[in-house]
Structure 1
């Protein structure tokens, strides 16, 4: 029984990794859907981090930074193709 649960969890982690890889490719190729997918994944990660406090504190911080960055006006413009420039780094 527990072996089956482990296999299911493992498959879900592989699936999540594939989804995150596709989203990363979307970031690099300036796809508008990737911004939304990244926001959704970060929001899910934020909720997951809250449910696993205190060990999820780092996850909360990282997902918060991702959400902040993906909602900046220059990033929204970049994903919409309204900016010819490469977006500046987060710093």
Structure 2
């Protein structure tokens, strides 16, 4: 039996952008991990694994898998919480990353088209 659910749902443009950015990040993490293997095997393997996870998440976003919606939401929420912690301790280096994660969270939950596309 063929799954035609994606054919009946329209992927929101913002989700497409998130999926593409996640895929680019995943490819860069894999490349970085491979380059690190000669310097530090452990960090190289961690980078490769993170890259593969990012690529799987990108595929899930692209194909509108409900689990990808929730994984993205949880990771964004954790990023926001960590960013707030860093800001409270006086570290402003992650301010942009925190704002982006907050924007992603707002987009995922405030846009009814996104929730409908993922059927959440």
Per the TM superposition, whether the score is higher than 0.5 is: yes
Higher helix share: 2
How many equivalent residue pairs? 76
1:51-89, CA deviations, whole angstroms, 9 ceiling, x for partnerless residues? 4430010110110011111112221111118xxxxxxxx
**Alignment partners' CA distance in 2, 1:46 and 1:13:** 22
Flag the structure with more relative contact order, 1 or 2, with Cα contacts below 8 A and sequence separation at least 6. 2
Structure 1 unaligned regions, length at least 5: 1-5, 82-91
Match of 2:76, SS? helix
Structure 2 counterpart of 1:64, from 88, 102, 114:
102
Question: 1:47: how far off?
Answer: 2.6
Question: CA RMSD of the aligned region, Å?
Answer: 2.1
Alpha carbons 1:50, 1:56 under 8 Å: kept: no
Scaled by the length of structure 1, what TM-score is found? 0.68
Moved over 2 A (4+): 6-17, 47-53
Question: 1:9: how far off?
Answer: 4.1
**Alignment partners' CA distance in 1, 2:67 and 2:42:** 28
**Alignment partners' CA distance in 2, 1:49 and 1:18:** 24
Scaled by the length of structure 2, what TM-score is found? 0.54
